[in-house]
A and B are shown apart, each in its own frame.
Chain A
Amino acid sequence: MLSRRLLCPLIKCCPPLQRQQQRNTWILKRVNKPYLKKSWVNPLVVGPALKRINADYELHPDKDFLYEVVKNTENDKMDDIEVLLLKHVKGLGVAGDIVKVRPGIFRHHLYLKREATYASPENLELYKDLIENKQRDINAPSSALSPITVEKLSKTYAVLELSSTQPWTVEPWHVRIALRNEGFIVPEYAIKMPETPITGPDVEGKQDKDFAVFITINKNEQVAVRCTIHHIGAFVHDNWKTRAVRVPILAEQKELLESMFSYPVEEEEEE
């Protein structure tokens, strides 16, 4: 505030430096063609090599400084750039991957943290080992997407809707359909069922109770997924996920299920 008050009289007495002040990258064009001497006066000034030589006459202070804006490149969208990842970046890829990212993200984050570098021919040559050894590293995530899939799968309740009249045993394809309803594409070979078979129908004993299956992503990472059995036609509360503490079906999976993610129990408001 103080500085502004001090500056105020200064600003008032000074004439404005320019009428239009825009801070952008400009590409301009001359409005008027500067005068040139006639070729008979100066026959040598011909040809592309002499193009850069200034006009023969001095530039007019008004006429020849009249410019016209051709283009303002400030708001042009920049293209994505190809980068080589040096470390695993969540959601982008693993070390050795070549991916395309927005330039701002690369310049101000990935490059400064040394998580990625330019995918130039020299860099590809220099980081040859990293690119070739990508497959061999077991501890690294198998793909860019797999850590996200693991996180999503571990927070999912897969609901198996099973018949309340016909006898059944829970099979991998039941789990596959339950996960498909949640939006996951899972092949049957990736599902590892609990060793004890679960049979039904058992509305009293197994309704709204949990068991766990293991899912292997890209034959590499393994996640435990919580599955819940709902019988078709049996009553289910709307807030069944948060209503009470989850009960396991199999006694052997009790510790496993307790260690997994579950929604906190919310107490119902009594009216």
Chain B
Amino acid sequence: MAICSFSKLGVKTRSYDDKNLLPLPSDDVFHTEGFRQIAYSLEEAIAFHRETHHPTMFNKSNALIEAAVELDMRTKKKTKFVSEFSGILMFPHKFEIKTSRRIVAICKTLEQSDIAIQSGASIAGGSDIIRQIKSKKLTSTDFDHIVCHSDMLVELAEVRGVLRDHFPNKVKGNYGTDMQTLVTKFMESLDYKCTRDDIEPEFGCVESPFGSLDMDTDKLRENLIYFLNKVESHQPKDAPSCFIRRVLLKSKPSLEQFRIRHWDLLDGYEDPTQIDESEMKSGQKG
């Protein structure tokens, strides 16, 4: 269905498909046009990015490294696709990134609100804030996250309909008893969002930085595995195929992007090139 509309619109599909591409040649020097995209290991891809940010070139050894994860949004039904999702990332290894976050802290006592404001929340308060939300003076455009003390949950339930996605839940983990850890957790976290368009609903993409180039490669690996696992958790259980199709590593200001062997990092993924070869062999026998 979707492919039909492409040809009508004259738009190229964004999803990567190597059916019509040739397997890599045995030559040591060749042009990659028409061949399957080379899948590097994570270490190789990071080394390539480090080269381009070498002092003699871009001279930016602390540049951020980003991962673009391409997803297969199909579900069991042919006409239904995974809806757009978003979430927050709290990496096991922290790195410097400039983000502006506006956090609303809802707590019972004044002491708690002081702690919240000290640790970085932009607004802190109790029932007065709930009243503001109720009267729509404070809307979702004014803040990024709401953090709530467990004692105030019952009162906050009044405005559940207004808050919708921002209402605290267990998955997000934005309620608790210790205001300081709650606020700092959300201050240091990163947002990620899956983008999808109606022309090609089976293709989704999530992009997020997961470290800087001067970090240890092992730390970067752990961060990336955490990110990929987090993305994979959004796949419905009865999906027909693997969720992650391709992972690209990017690093600005360099325009290069390298495909990595994500099947080495994740459980439950198989090497697509090996599957092809085994199929070819069995086909020849048959």
User: Which residues of chain A have a CB within 8 Å of any CB of chain B?
Assistant: 142-143, 145-146, 148-149, 152-153, 161-163, 165-168, 173-174, 177, 180-181, 183-187, 190, 215-219, 232
Contact between A185 and B38 (Cβ–Cβ < 8 Å)?
A: yes
Chain A nearest CB, measured from B38 CB (Å): 7
> Would you list the 6 A-B pairs with minimal beta carbon distance, nearest first?
A168-B56, A217-B29, A166-B55, A183-B32, A152-B31, A163-B59
Which residues from chain B contact A145 at a C-beta distance below 8 Å? 25, 27, 30
B57 within 8 Å of A (CB atoms): yes
A-B contact pairs, 12 of them (CB 8 A): A143-B25, A143-B26, A149-B27, A163-B55, A163-B57, A168-B56, A181-B256, A185-B28, A185-B29, A185-B38, A218-B27, A232-B57
Which residues from chain B contact A165 at a C-beta distance below 8 Å? 59
Q: Give the distance in Å from the alpha carbon of A217 to the alpha carbon of B59 in the complex.
A: 31
Chain B nearest CB, measured from A231 CB (Å): 11
Which residues from chain B contact A219 at a C-beta distance below 8 Å? 28
Which residues from chain A contact B38 at a C-beta distance below 8 Å? 185
Which residues from chain A contact B48 at a C-beta distance below 8 Å? 177, 180
Contact between B30 and A149 (Cβ–Cβ < 8 Å)?
A: yes
Chain A nearest CB, measured from B84 CB (Å): 33
Contact between A146 and B27 (Cβ–Cβ < 8 Å)?
A: yes
* A173-B32 contact, Cβ under 8 Å, with A149-B27, A185-B38: no
B52 within 8 Å of A (CB atoms): yes
Tally A-B pairs: CB < 8 A: 73
Q: Give the distance in Å from the alpha carbon of A232 to the alpha carbon of B58 in the complex.
A: 7
Q: Give the distance in Å from the alpha carbon of A181 to the alpha carbon of B32 in the complex.
A: 11
Q: Which residue of chain B has its CB nearest to the CB of A173?
A: B51
Contact between B32 and A184 (Cβ–Cβ < 8 Å)?
A: yes
Give the secondary structure class of B's interface: loop
B128 within 8 Å of A (CB atoms): no
Chain B nearest CB, measured from A79 CB (Å): 12
Q: Which residue of chain A has its CB nearest to the CB of B29?
A: A217
Which residues from chain A contact B33 at a C-beta distance below 8 Å? 183
* Contacts A162-B57, A168-B56, A177-B57 supplied; 8 other A-B pairs, CB < 8 Å: A145-B27, A152-B31, A161-B58, A174-B56, A177-B52, A181-B255, A184-B31, A185-B29
Tally of contact residues, B, Cβ under 8 A: 20
* A166-B27 contact, Cβ under 8 Å, with A181-B256, A183-B32, A183-B33: no
Which residues from chain A contact B28 at a C-beta distance below 8 Å? 185, 187, 190, 217-219
CB within 8 A of B56: which of A153, A166, A190? A166
Q: Give the distance in Å from the alpha carbon of A167 to the alpha carbon of B55 in the complex.
A: 9
Q: Which residue of chain B has its CB nearest to the CB of A156?
A: B31
Q: Give the distance in Å from the alpha carbon of A215 to the alpha carbon of B30 in the complex.
A: 11
Contact between A184 and B51 (Cβ–Cβ < 8 Å)?
A: no
CB within 8 A of B51: which of A149, A167, A177, A190? A177
CB within 8 A of A180: which of B30, B55, B59, B256? B256
Q: Give the distance in Å from the alpha carbon of A167 to the alpha carbon of B54 in the complex.
A: 12
Which residues from chain B contact A232 at a C-beta distance below 8 Å? 57-59
Which residues from chain B contact A183 at a C-beta distance below 8 Å? 31-33
Which residues from chain B contact A181 at a C-beta distance below 8 Å? 255-256
Chain A nearest CB, measured from B88 CB (Å): 35
**Which residue among B28, B29, B31 has the maximum number of chain A CB atoms within 10 Å of its CB?**
B29
Q: Which residue of chain B has its CB nearest to the CB of A190?
A: B29
Which residues from chain A contact B30 at a C-beta distance below 8 Å? 145, 149, 184-185
Q: Which residue of chain B has its CB nearest to the CB of A171?
A: B56
Chain B nearest CB, measured from A154 CB (Å): 12
Q: Give the distance in Å from the alpha carbon of A111 to the alpha carbon of B38 in the complex.
A: 35
Contact between B29 and A215 (Cβ–Cβ < 8 Å)?
A: yes
Q: Give the distance in Å from the alpha carbon of A218 to the alpha carbon of B31 in the complex.
A: 13
Chain B nearest CB, measured from A203 CB (Å): 15
Q: Give the distance in Å from the alpha carbon of A161 to the alpha carbon of B58 in the complex.
A: 8
Chain A nearest CB, measured from B281 CB (Å): 15
* A185-B32 contact, Cβ under 8 Å, with A143-B26, A173-B51, A180-B256: yes
Q: Give the distance in Å from the alpha carbon of A186 to the alpha carbon of B30 in the complex.
A: 7
Which residues from chain B contact A162 at a C-beta distance below 8 Å? 56-57
* A143-B32 contact, Cβ under 8 Å, with A162-B56, A163-B56, A163-B58: no
Which residues from chain A contact B26 at a C-beta distance below 8 Å? 143
